[in-house]
Amino acid sequence: MSKSFYPKLALSNINKNKKVYYPYILTCIFTVMMFYMMSAIRNNSNLDKIHGAENLKMLLGIALFVAAIFSIIFLFYTNSFLMKRRKKEIGLYNILGMEKRHIGKVISYETIIIAVVSLTTGIALGILFSKLMFLFLLKLISFNVVLGFDVPIPSVISTLILFCSIFIVTLVYNLTKIHLTKPIELLHGGEIGEKEPKTKILLTIFGLACIGGGYGFALTVESPISAMSMFFFAVILVVAGTYALFTSGSIAVLKILRKNKKFYYKTKHFTSVSGMLYRMKQNAVGLANICILSTMVLIMFSTTLALYAGMEDSIKTEYPNDIRISTAPGIDDKTEEINKAINDKLKQNGIDIENYTAFHSITLSCEHIDGKFKFLDQDANLFGVNSIDKVKICTIMPLDEFNKINSTNYTLNSDEVILYSKKKPDAFGEFIIGNGNENKTFKVKEKLNKVSDVQHSNYENMLDCYTIIVNNMDTLKSIYSLVPSDEQKYNDMDYSVQFDTKCDREACIALSNSIFENVNIDGTTVEARNIYEARDDFYGMYGGFLFIGLFLSILFLMATVLIIYYKQISEGYEDKTRFEIMQKVGMSHSEVKKTIRSQVVMVFFLPLIVTGIHIAVSFRIIQKMLLLLGLANAGLFILCTIGSMLAFCLVYGAVFIITTKSYYKIVSSAEKN
């Protein structure tokens, strides 16, 4: 036998099965290209020039790991589908005289051809488009374009190692399956699963319990920190429940419909329910995969888009002025020295300022028990408290500075306070704070609904935060004196100065750096930050989030499209036989076609409906998690979620139309017979 026989036969088989092989090859090429591009961007030498490069590299590393795991699982999954479609053909080869070792050689050459085409084309396209993707990333993070083009060799090597390993593992799996399977089983392999599926009551109950548990966590979570800890557990429950309900719950519902004689014994319902009942056993996992992947696409894209779109709001909340100077003068107030040092720097640089604010404060982590605020020890981690809802952040400041900042004229006695809380302004009539052994009690004179932005706590989006206004600095110091001496270094008295400058970006950055580096006062720490470098950090982080969200969304969307396509092709070959049988028993062409179309539409859009439910239920817990990243604009997140859902529905509908054409081309051949 000629040495070229097996390669030629392998190439001929790929061409003859182009409806299933060409999409698979395109998917392999695209997956290789995407993985290489992400790796090339992470290994790009120009990345080190970007502000916040370490954080960006960390995010890209996470995305690269996810892409690698996705590639392994997804390519192995699609390979399994291909082998199922090829079993009859392989069995026929075996019956016609080809030994299994000969069939193994053909399969090996097919794998080699696909691997060579996928790797060479994928890496070539990756090299071609990686610069474009890098420029897109720079645009997202608002960084000036870096010229130059390089091909990171480590990225090429890691891509080759990963995908060669995947192709080798799939080849070994295929050869093992062929070796262990009898020829007659191969010949009828494509028909496995035609028996009526059994109702699995326990699996249905398990699925409902998982979905109920996951939804319960998502709908009842209160704290953003609790949301973060519960989210992944809720995701596991919902994923498990989705697979269980698609596998067993759908069959149970269809059997209930079949028992309803008035509904079932109608032409359209009879054929639809029967067809879906048999189809659900074979396609339940595929439908569940479509549902889960669609949910992942929408969540990743909508959240990263919302974070990026709301970035300026987050920056303004964190930095209401151009420069923010935080100092810790301690109980021995060195405010005058700090002010003099800052003013000296302003004069040296010849910079005029406006919107100047300055205030003293103490920010204390407290546990709220029986109406009292007890200081938390440094060792008592926030996550270690019995209930995270008991943890409160109290920022205490003197009245004269508060009135100056807010342009108010409140008055207070030594036993009175003014209370502000974004979440619960009417929670208390008294304010009691202390170390547990010794407390101070104040009457709440006023409960405010709004205060100046400069007084907002960094923890405000995560925990219940309170701004407490006391009558003067002496009262503030008396509260501070209750903090145990070994804890005062962790709960220091702060003096914050904020102002806007009448200068450009470079001068503002130079001023803040000069203050940070040169304002040195014994026993006092000084930290100066400016809005321009903070914006760079935000763009680097949130731009990186959006880039990775887009990257992974495209990967998962590609997987969704391919699963839908293969499902349509598979159903087309199965319905071709049913089409012929229904015509022989007296149904017209139009009735059969209408029935099959109705059946396909119902099954096709079922995952989309479940995806919509998952997204709606998960909105609350995701919105809570976004608070941890500084996005408090729920309206923006709603718009991004709705917009993402509408765009995805358009893509999903387009995929339905395109793949349905392939389905009808297969089925329509039965009409001609």
Tokens of 327: 């100092």
pLDDT of residue 19: 78
The Cα 26–Cα 31 span in angstroms is: 9
Mean pLDDT for 20-43 is: 89
Q: How many domains does the chain have?
A: 2
The Cα 589–Cα 611 span in angstroms is: 34
Q: Among 192, 220, 250, identify where a domain stops.
A: 192
pLDDT of residue 538: 86
pLDDT of residue 193: 47
In the predicted structure, residue 365 carries a pLDDT above the cut 90: no
Please report whether residue 657 resides in a domain.
no
Please report whether residue 114 resides in a domain.
yes
In this predicted model, what pLDDT tens digit does every residue of 522-564 receive, in sequence order? 767 788 888 988 888 888 888 888 988 898 898 888 888 888 8
pLDDT of residue 591: 67
Please report whether residue 252 resides in a domain.
no
Q: Are 662 and 19 in contact (CB under 8 A)?
A: yes
| Three-class HEC string of 400-424 | HHHHHHHCCCCCCCCCEEEEEECCC
Least confident window among 104-113, 314-323, 584-593: 584-593
Do 328 and 470 share a domain, yes or no? yes
The Cα 366–Cα 391 span in angstroms is: 6
526 — alpha (psi -120 to 50), left (phi > 0) or beta? beta
CA 551-557-559 angle, 5° bins: 110
Q: Strand 439-448 and strand 416-421: pairing?
A: parallel
pLDDT of residue 361: 87
In the predicted structure, residue 423 carries a pLDDT above the cut 60: yes
Q: Among 477, 501, 535, identify where a domain stops.
A: 535
Question: Would you place residue 227 in the very low, low, confident or very high pLDDT band (cuts 50, 70, 90)?
Answer: confident
In this predicted model, what pLDDT tens digit does every residue of 153-206 receive, in sequence order? 999 999 999 999 999 999 998 888 777 666 555 555 555 445 555 667 788 889
Q: Among 516, 535, 554, identify where a domain stops.
A: 535
Q: Which of 637, 636, 561, 648 is nearest to 611 (CA)?
A: 648
pLDDT of residue 276: 65
In this predicted model, what pLDDT tens digit does every residue of 326-340 receive, in sequence order? 887 555 567 888 888
Q: Which of 251, 280, 272, 265 is nearest to 193 (CA)?
A: 280
Tokens of 502: 């009448």
Mapped onto helix, strand or coil, the DSSP state of residue 326 is strand
Mapped onto helix, strand or coil, the DSSP state of residue 390 is helix
Please report whether residue 110 resides in a domain.
yes
Please report whether residue 474 resides in a domain.
yes
Mean pLDDT for 388-404 is: 85
Residue-range definition of the domain harbouring residue 349 = 323-535
Please report whether residue 562 resides in a domain.
no
Please report whether residue 375 resides in a domain.
yes
Least confident window among 46-55, 239-248, 470-479: 46-55
H or E element in which residue 306 lies = helix 267-309
In this predicted model, what pLDDT tens digit does every residue of 100-149 receive, in sequence order? 777 788 888 889 999 999 999 999 999 988 888 888 888 888 777 655 66
Instruction: Collect all residues with Cβ–Cβ distance below 8 Å to 24 and sequence separation of at least 6.
Output: 78, 79, 82, 114, 562
In the predicted structure, residue 380 carries a pLDDT above the cut 70: no
H or E element in which residue 572 lies = helix 531-584
Mean pLDDT for 245-252 is: 76
The Cα 595–Cα 623 span in angstroms is: 42
Please report whether residue 298 resides in a domain.
no
The Cα 519–Cα 327 span in angstroms is: 10
Burial class (CB in 10 A: 0-12, 13-18, 19+), 592: buried
249 phi/psi in degrees, rounded to 5: -65, -40
Instruction: Collect all residues with Cβ–Cβ distance below 8 Å to 57 and sequence separation of at least 6.
Output: 42, 47
The Cα 271–Cα 557 span in angstroms is: 32
Question: Would you place residue 394 in the very low, low, confident or very high pLDDT band (cuts 50, 70, 90)?
Answer: confident
The DSSP call for residue 310 is T
Most distant pair of Cα atoms in the chain: their distance: 104
Taken in order 154, 155, 160, 163, the sign of the CA dihedral is positive
pLDDT of residue 157: 94
- pTM, two decimal places: 0.79
In the predicted structure, residue 424 carries a pLDDT above the cut 50: yes
> What is the average pLDDT score of the chain?
80
